[in-house]
């Protein structure tokens, strides 16, 4: 196989070939020298030992070498002495490799058996790098090159299209099942008199050995593995869900639980193995303890892949994701494998929909949040205690390969969470507040809607494929479908997102933004909905007084829209505000809103002016340099009195706090253009210093050497102008 060789992009271009070390037809080893090149750079002129670098520079000629990135025979050498290259576009040589090492197992090529450097970053071939990728679900020792990965995926996609299927990546915990280790579950399931007995009839169970975490250099007897009993509740309608989607989707499991746990769950939800087979990826093979990535399974092309998961943050809200409402059957337990994931905000929104009486629901949700908080505090205490033990032992015996603090903390937290749940029995604690009423209610209806959505996506994909020449892409298809649902909706959340949280980065804001909605921390002229559980909040009352057309709705309305992918009628979810704001409060709000509008208008005008100055500067027009320094200072330091006025006041109300944060964020945008102008100008100066000629060829003869003293006076004047320009740009940055 012939592989083209190009110069790496990080070379100090332009470079000139000074010496050839090989010829066409020669056999070369990896890292064998091919040629020597010359290049030059500008260095500061320093005349005294303690003198600071002056603004004058001189040209210094240097040399470098280029070695073969691969082994093989040179079939073409496209360079000659004196050739100059100004970028990495040209193919400088072609090498015929005896083996491309496209597939390796444990650092050995599976074709030729030679050892392959795991860190080998071979030159790209036809747009592909030979750096090794892991694609297998259950074996991280098998690695393939990008070229081989693309070939594998192309074949797989062809087979999928022949079967008219897409790929569905399925998360486990709180997506299709809910799992707990609270011993109370077993006791209730065996007690017909318990009010939760009927809800636990279909709960499955299994046990796993939880290995103890031992410190480095532990020489004592190994403690026995601790048996842990898991109780699993399938999400209602799971079997029907798989029956509907399996004919149209190839199913994969992707979980942040251990492989042993994933295999046990797979036995429960897919006892015959027909649905998932061996397509199971756990955190043991993932490569990351905190995030998931489609590139782990499909490194080259994710255009036919759909994800269902209750967590959007672990996927970085990628466009392939369908986020589902978390399945929270064992209330107060949460996701037992979430210790390895980023910690979620403790808000009522992450619990999703609940079909209970209002007073009962509010009381229960408060109890659940308090229980989760207490459990987390106990887990943190246990983790801290264990970390102190480990740190003491590690200080006395430093291991050769110490485990990272983050990994250790995650593993300790996971073990501690299981122990704390078993010992503190959160379900029993919550049941005390329910008396003889049911705590566990199995009324979730997510999966029927989810299956309908998946079938719509499947239909849209294959209709588009049949209609056009280009294959559709899920990364663009699904966002386009979702963006129509809440288009034109401007949300303000009241009493739902904890104070101090960046509203626009809250999970619910990111989730709804995928469906076309815009979230703000404050009521404004664009607001269409106030989302709250309690219509008596100041934001809700203010919004209704300011604009009677603004709808005050319960969060269930949003979840209903997100679950069904359609804008549900708000009427059944609208709340009545209990008390209007005073006329004085309304007028004060309108005044601040007008101040904010004027401030934003002023900022917009300054941004336009800054952009105009940037364009003029980058176009090479130096007329603006003739302006007085006072005028430039006046432009840069113009005060925004409106912004400052809006920051006055000491209200601790959530609405006021969010408004001030939004203004602070907006006001930081002004100097950004100045920084960009500085960077662009620096880049232009660099380019001007490299060459005064405008030559379009990538390969050219080396220009005549000249020193700084040979520069004409006109060029020195230009340098002085550049110095003045740099000083002004420093003021811009300031």
Instruction: Write out pLDDT tens, residues 612-637.
Output: 766 665 555 444 444 444 443 343 34
In a domain, 193, yes or no: yes
Separation in Å, CA 261 to CA 208, 245, 339, 392, 605: 8, 24, 15, 32, 58
Same domain, 255 and 357: yes
Separation in Å, CA 230 to CA 201, 310, 635: 15, 20, 66
In a domain, 9, yes or no: yes
Q: What does the pLDDT average to over 701-716?
A: 42
In a domain, 457, yes or no: no
Active site residues: 171, 173
Same domain, 572 and 599: no
Same domain, 96 and 204: no
In a domain, 550, yes or no: yes
Same domain, 62 and 32: yes
Q: What does the pLDDT average to over 47-59?
A: 71
Same domain, 420 and 544: no
Q: Could you tell me the CATH number of the domain that includes residue 135?
A: 2.40.50.100
Instruction: Write out pLDDT tens, residues 347-401.
Output: 545 545 554 445 455 555 566 666 666 666 665 666 676 666 666 555 554 444 4
* CA angle (237, 243, 246) in 5-degree steps: 125
Q: End-to-end distance of the chain based on CA atoms, in angstroms? A: 56
Instruction: Write out pLDDT tens, residues 506-558.
Output: 889 999 999 999 999 999 999 999 999 888 889 999 999 999 999 999 999 99
* CA angle (531, 533, 534) in 5-degree steps: 105
Same domain, 311 and 201: yes
Question: Last residue of some domain: 539, 555, 581?
Answer: 581
Q: Which two tokens stand for residue 476?
A: 């663009």
In angstroms, rounded to a whole number, what is the distance separating the alpha carbons of residues 153 and 300? 7
In a domain, 46, yes or no: yes
SS3 108: strand
pTM over 0.85: no
Q: What does the pLDDT average to over 334-344?
A: 68
In a domain, 476, yes or no: no
Same domain, 124 and 271: no
Same domain, 237 and 376: yes
Q: Comparing 400-409, 545-554, 577-586, 708-717, which segment has the lowest mean pLDDT?
A: 708-717
Same domain, 248 and 349: yes
Same domain, 621 and 491: no
In a domain, 547, yes or no: yes
Same domain, 105 and 28: yes
SS3 317: coil
Structural domain boundaries, residue 727: 593-733
Confidence of residue 689 (pLDDT cuts 50, 70, 90): very low
Separation in Å, CA 260 to CA 138, 181, 224, 268, 662: 12, 16, 18, 13, 47
Count of domains in the chain?
Answer: 4
């Amino acid at each position: 196989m012939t592989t083209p060789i190009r110069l790496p992009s990080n070379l100090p271009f332009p470079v000139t070939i000074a010496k050839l070390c090989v010829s066409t037809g020669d056999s070369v080893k990896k890292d064998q020298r091919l040629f020597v090149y010359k290049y030059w750079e500008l260095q500061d002129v320093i005349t005294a030992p303690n003198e600071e670098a002056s603004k004058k520079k001189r040209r210094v000629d240097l040399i470098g070498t280029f070695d073969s990135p691969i082994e093989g025979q040179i079939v073409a050498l496209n360079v000659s002495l004196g050739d100059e290259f100004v970028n990495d576009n040209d193919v400088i040589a072609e090498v015929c490799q005896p083996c491309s090492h496209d597939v390796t197992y444990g650092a050995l090529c599976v074709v030729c058996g030679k050892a392959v450097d795991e860190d080998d970053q071979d030159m790209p071939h036809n747009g592909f790098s030979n750096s090794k990728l892991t694609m297998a679900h259950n074996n991280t020792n098998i690695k393939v090159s990008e070229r081989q990965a693309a070939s594998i995926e192309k074949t797989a996609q062809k087979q999928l299209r022949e079967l008219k299927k897409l790929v569905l990546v399925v998360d486990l915990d709180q997506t299709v099942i809910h799992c707990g280790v609270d011993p109370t579950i077993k006791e209730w399931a065996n007690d017909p008199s318990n009010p939760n007995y009927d809800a636990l009839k279909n709960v499955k169970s299994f046990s796993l050995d939880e290995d103890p975490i031992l410190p480095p250099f532990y020489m004592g007897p190994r403690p026995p593995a601790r048996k842990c009993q898991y109780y699993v509740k399938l999400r209602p309608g799971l079997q029907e869900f798989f029956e509907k989607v399996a004919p149209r989707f190839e199913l994969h499991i992707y979980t942040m639980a251990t492989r042993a746990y994933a295999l046990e769950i797979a036995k429960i939800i897919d006892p015959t193995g027909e649905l998932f087979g061996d397509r199971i990826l756990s955190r043991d093979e993932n490569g990351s303890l905190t995030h998931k990535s489609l590139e782990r399974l499909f490194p080259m092309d994710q255009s036919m892949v759909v994800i269902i998961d209750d967590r959007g943050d672990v996927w970085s809200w990628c466009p392939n994701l369908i986020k589902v409402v978390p399945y929270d059957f064992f209330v107060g337990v949460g996701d037992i494998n979430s210790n390895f994931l980023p910690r979620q905000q403790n808000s009522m929104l992450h619990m999703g929909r609940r079909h209970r009486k209002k007073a009962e629901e509010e009381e229960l949700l408060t109890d659940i949040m308090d229980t989760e908080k207490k459990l987390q505090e106990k887990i943190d205490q246990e983790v801290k205690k264990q970390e102190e033990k480990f740190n003491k032992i590690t200080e006395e015996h430093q291991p050769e390969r110490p485990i990272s603090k983050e990994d250790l903390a995650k593993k300790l937290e996971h073990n501690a969470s299981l122990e704390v749940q078993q010992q503190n029995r959160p379900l029993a604690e919550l049941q005390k507040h329910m008396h003889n009423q049911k705590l566990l209610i199995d009324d979730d209806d997510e999966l029927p809607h989810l299956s309908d959505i998946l079938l719509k996506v499947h239909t849209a994909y294959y209709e588009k494929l049949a209609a056009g020449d280009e294959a559709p892409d899920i990364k663009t298809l699904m966002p386009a479908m979702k963006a129509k649902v809440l288009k034109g909706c401007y949300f303000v959340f009241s009493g739902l997102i904890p104070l101090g949280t960046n509203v626009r980065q809250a999970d619910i804001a990111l989730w709804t933004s995928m469906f076309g909605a815009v979230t703000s921390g404050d009521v404004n002229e664009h607001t269409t909905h106030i989302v709250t559980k309690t219509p008596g909040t100041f934001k809700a009352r203010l919004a209704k007084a300011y604009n009677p057309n603004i709808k005050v709705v319960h969060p269930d309305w949003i979840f209903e829209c997100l679950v069904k992918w359609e804008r549900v009628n708000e009427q059944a979810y609208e709340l009545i505000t209990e008390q209007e704001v005073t006329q004085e409060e309304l007028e004060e709000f309108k005044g601040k809103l007008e101040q904010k509008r004027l401030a934003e208008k002023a900022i917009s005008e300054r941004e336009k002016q800054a952009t105009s100055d940037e364009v003029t500067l980058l176009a090479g027009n130096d007329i603006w340099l003739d302006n007085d320094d006072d005028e430039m200072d006046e432009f840069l330091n113009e005060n925004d009195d409106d912004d400052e006025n809006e920051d006055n006041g000491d209200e601790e109300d959530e609405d006021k706090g969010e408004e001030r944060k939004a203004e602070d964020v907006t006001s930081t945008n002004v100097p950004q253009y100045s920084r960009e102008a500085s960077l662009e100008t620096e880049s232009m100066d660099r380019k001007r210093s490299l060459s005064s000629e405008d030559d379009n060829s990538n390969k050219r003869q080396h220009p005549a050497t000249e020193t700084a003293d040979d520069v004409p006076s006109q060029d020195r004047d230009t340098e002085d102008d550049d110095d003045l320009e740099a000083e002004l740009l420093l003021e811009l940055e300031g």
